[in-house]
Chain A
């Protein structure tokens, strides 16, 4: 069979979502951001909520998210995306509001905002990209950096005595009664990408049903910041990030109400 007999519109099985704008992303080759952007665009398209969705983009590499997905966006000050999203969601309760934040944004300068927004149970989706480093500014140490992980500001590796321990935001947030669905995913293989899509879709469906805060952490790579190849970074992530940041659902009130009253 000739290739040209296969490449026909009726045989199409996988294509770019029409919500994704045809701009070439500024992300480095192999960056996890591109995959998560794609998932968000596909989910918004599948749920048919393009006109009703408002995204809040962070400060960090994903600051330009508004260039890539064709929905309404608001760019927030560093770490303040949950506060901005709170305002948007409260004044426009019919809209579906989500924030898209990195670990430098969410776990460091914005730690207060995210904890209080989740504790209030704001009806928003939070997508948290955790790559254990400040990617945009040149690979500095973030609160989520692993013990011993070299970064440009900890060239000999993160030292517990000096810098403390990696911050597990998702575990902290899962203890807050305001959150409805808290999960940790990754996007390094086709299977995990498909699983992550289900998790983000569920989070959006929770917000449509006004169930409260849904929080999706995506354990990601920053191959430029980590000074690795894209494929090498994925392997490193599996070997080093997953023992610390274990993928899986931490809380899902659809399945069971926590016994401790949390």
Chain B
């Protein structure tokens, strides 16, 4: 069975910490960072990067379009 791995890049400064991506992630990859960006928001980041399947749900629901998704099959 082909295995799928994904990765998410969150544009830290664009994130407003709404956590909609955290809710949308079926693999519980994302979480809000304990640190804040320059505008004071707890930005989203990959807490469990090895679980990501690159489904793009996080990017699709992000209101600020600050998530880029990559996926590779091997």
Contacts and interface: CB of A to CB of B under 8 A. Distances in A.
Interface of A: 1, 3, 5-8, 11-17, 20, 24-25, 27-35, 38, 187-190, 193-194, 229-231, 234
Interface of B: 5-7, 9, 13-14, 16-20, 23-24, 41, 49, 54-57, 59-65, 67-72, 74
B71 A13 contact: yes
B64 A34 contact: yes
18 contacts: A1-B5, A5-B72, A11-B71, A13-B56, A14-B60, A15-B68, A24-B64, A25-B63, A27-B64, A28-B16, A29-B64, A30-B16, A30-B20, A33-B63, A34-B65, A190-B56, A230-B20, A231-B20
Contacts of A193: 60-61
A245 to B, nearest CB: 20
Contacts of A17: 65
Nearest to A187: B61
A12 B70 contact: yes
Contacts of B70: 6-8, 11-13
A189 B69 contact: no
Contacts of B71: 6, 11, 13
Residue of B5, B16, B56, B60 with most chain A CB atoms under a 10 A cut-off: B60
A190 B41 CA distance: 23
A35 B59 CA distance: 10
A42 to B, nearest CB: 10
Given A1-B5, A230-B18, 4 more contacts: A6-B6, A6-B70, A15-B69, A30-B20
A95 B10 CA distance: 36
Nearest to B63: A34
Contact of A231 (B6, B16, B19, B59): B19
A37 B44 CA distance: 21
